Amino acid sequence: MIELLEQCLRIPSPSGQERAVAEFLCAEMARRGFAHAFIDEAGNAVGIVGRGPRQIVLLGHMDTVGGDVPVRYEDGKLYGRGSVDAKGPLCAFILAAEAAAPALAEDWQIVVIGAVEEECATSRGARFVAGQYRPEMCLIGEPSGSDGITLGYKGRLLIHARAEHEARHTAIPKPNAAELVVALWHHVRALADAWNADRPKAFDQLLPSLRRIQSGEDGLREWCEAMISVRLPLDYGPEALRAAIERWGAGQPEVALSFRGAEPAWRAPRDTPLVRALVDAIRAYGGQPKFKYKTGTADFNVVGPAWGCPIAAYGPGDSALDHTPDEHVAVDEFVRGVSVLTAALRALAHRVSQC
């Protein structure tokens, strides 16, 4: 099983450069007996098993953040960029769909999708497929651990600020460009502190992060710009935060504001056939199911509201290793994750078909 993931890891695929890995995955899915395997208009790798009209979509992503993590085995672990986030879960989807295919009833099909640009604010692959499919259930390929089931992701808003003005002597008692941008950061932090005061759980909080700040001058003009990311709870949407920041900006004419990456938070219910099948499969392989709610954002946030179907995120790997130079997955955990997914898919095809 692990060889598929190893080969996938050896093909670099930072966001926007996924074509080579998409071609590899489509060839692998075709070789493994998928009825259809193709690259769609957005650049996603898509494989379909089963011929029925009712769909279970397994949506993972092929792109990774930057940084080279040499592919290697050490102490029963496979290292490589994407081994956790999220080529590992995507390859587990492919293997599980292949294994579950013979159990599909005539009215079911499994659609495996390796999406592009999940690691970007664009989520281009997920936005494209949101309008192409109408599944009855959806699994998102993200690391939850082989015993974990993720049922919620926080929302997000990215704030870009730039202040620029004519150069002036530092003795002049007016805020310079850097001070104006830092004032915005302090304002965002104050908003978050006020909101979080009586909300002890991270999933319910506003979580701001100063992602980038740069300044400079050329003797005639000085400037400063920053990127702020805010993770959002269910009851504080990106529109509300944008409005609050724009009210601050109305009193700061030297600060230009722009926004992108707006995603609402999304939480799925536990009591669905999808979640029950995962719980039963985890227990069947000796695990103790754990429900998780993530402080990050994923394609879960894009397709969850669009499809409105039972949804959960599952995949082998420790999410604490996402984006790190130590990214790796234990081989035995990866194999167990494939087994759990296979059992859950077989059970879903049987149970739901009998309803």
Lowest mean pLDDT, pick from 21-25, 114-118, 252-256:
252-256
Q: Could you tell me the residue ranges of all domains in the chain? A: 2-153+265-354, 155-263
pLDDT for the residue numbered 353: 52
* pLDDT surpasses 50 at 164: yes
Q: What would the mean pLDDT of 82-106 be, rounded to a whole number?
A: 95
CA angle in degrees (0–180, nearest 5) for 223-228-229: 160
Residue with the bigger pLDDT between 352 and 273: it is 273
Fold designation for 2-153+265-354: Aminopeptidase (3.40.630)
Mean pLDDT of all residues in the chain? 95
Task: Tell which CATH classification among 3.40.640.10, 3.50.50.60, 3.30.70.360, 3.10.20.30 matches the domain 155-263.
Answer: 3.30.70.360
**74 CB neighbour count, 10 Å cutoff:** 8
CA distance 349 to 355: 10
CA distance 266 to 155: 7
pLDDT for the residue numbered 170: 72
CA distance 48 to 53: 12
pLDDT in tens, 173-227: 788 999 999 999 999 999 999 999 999 999 999 999 999 999 998 889 999 999 9
355 pLDDT band (50/70/90 cuts)? very low
CA distance 155 to 279: 26
Catalytic residues: 63, 118
* pLDDT surpasses 60 at 354: no
Q: What would the mean pLDDT of 4-22 be, rounded to a whole number?
A: 98
Do the Cβ atoms of 40 and 46 come closer than 8 Å? yes
